[in-house]
Amino acid sequence: MRARRASRPRISCGRSAAGANVREVVAQIILTGFMGTGKTEVGRRLARTLGRTFVDTDRLVEMKAGRRVAEIFATQGEAAFRALEREAVTEACAIPDAVVATGGGALLDRDNRRRLAAAGPIVCLTASPEEILRRIPDASSRPLLASAKTKSERLERIQSLLAARESAYASATHAIDTTGLTVDQVVDRVRAAVDVR
């Protein structure tokens, strides 16, 4: 799948006194997509490569709540998690020049979409349902898959969630299929998509 291109926020540095072009700098880089598509691992590697801060909104939620995402879902429910996630997205968007990895459902929220789109290009990492299933052999830490007891049930649940989120993921400025790619290959494709070196 080719990466889609669209307009994206940039910090324009204009021209030097000598008139030479100065390269525009991409503001934040947002990675989103379904669970198991590599957002966190790719985000860490991309941030390290570019010398930027890496921010994971799920981690921000866990730090604030003092418990893991799976525990929040189990004890407080999804609505409580989404409220915390909204706060985490707001916090992440305030960190200059960061590489931000969101939770898989963050784009379902209209306010999150608005804030993230204003912060920088949004790259949606994708993978086939079968590849996602392969990457998540243990669903115990994945609240939205935990109730599916068999492999076939987990695959059906993945397919159902992907269908429900299709329009939200389509709002991203770029989409990169990570199926069959290494982390470094995905990082290279993200850099090419957002035109950052």
Query: Is 12 inside any structural domain?
Result: no
Q: What average pLDDT does this structure show over 97-108?
A: 96
Asked if 176 and 124 count as a contact pair (C-beta separation under 8 A), the reply is yes
Indicate whether 23 pLDDT > 60. no
Label residue 2 by pLDDT band (50, 70, 90): very low
**Average pLDDT, rounded, for the chain:** 87
| Residue carrying structure tokens 């090419």 | 192
Domain residue limits at 142: 27-194
Query: Is 20 inside any structural domain?
Result: no
Q: What average pLDDT does this structure show over 84-100?
A: 96
Query: Is 43 inside any structural domain?
Result: yes
pLDDT of residue 10: 40
Tokens of 49: 């490569």
What CATH number is given to the structural domain containing 59? 3.40.50.300
Using CA atoms, how far residue 147 sits from 144, 161, 194, in Å, is 7, 13, 37
Indicate whether 100 pLDDT > 70. yes
CB-based contacts of 149: which residues, under 8 Å, 6+ apart? none
pLDDT of residue 110: 95
Label residue 18 by pLDDT band (50, 70, 90): very low
Query: Is 14 inside any structural domain?
Result: no
Query: Is 10 inside any structural domain?
Result: no
pLDDT of residue 83: 96
Distance CA 136, CA 125 (A): 16
Asked if 194 and 11 count as a contact pair (C-beta separation under 8 A), the reply is no
Label residue 147 by pLDDT band (50, 70, 90): confident
Query: Is 36 inside any structural domain?
Result: yes
Least confident of 4-8, 134-138, 178-182: 4-8
Q: Please report, to the nearest 10 degrees, the dihedral formed by the alpha carbons of residues 172, 182, 188, 8 taken in order.
A: 10
Number of structural domains the chain divides into: 1
Indicate whether 164 pLDDT > 60. yes
Distance CA 165, CA 172 (A): 12
Alpha helix (H) ranges present in 94-170?
110-119, 129-135, 151-169
Query: Is 64 inside any structural domain?
Result: yes
Query: Is 169 inside any structural domain?
Result: yes
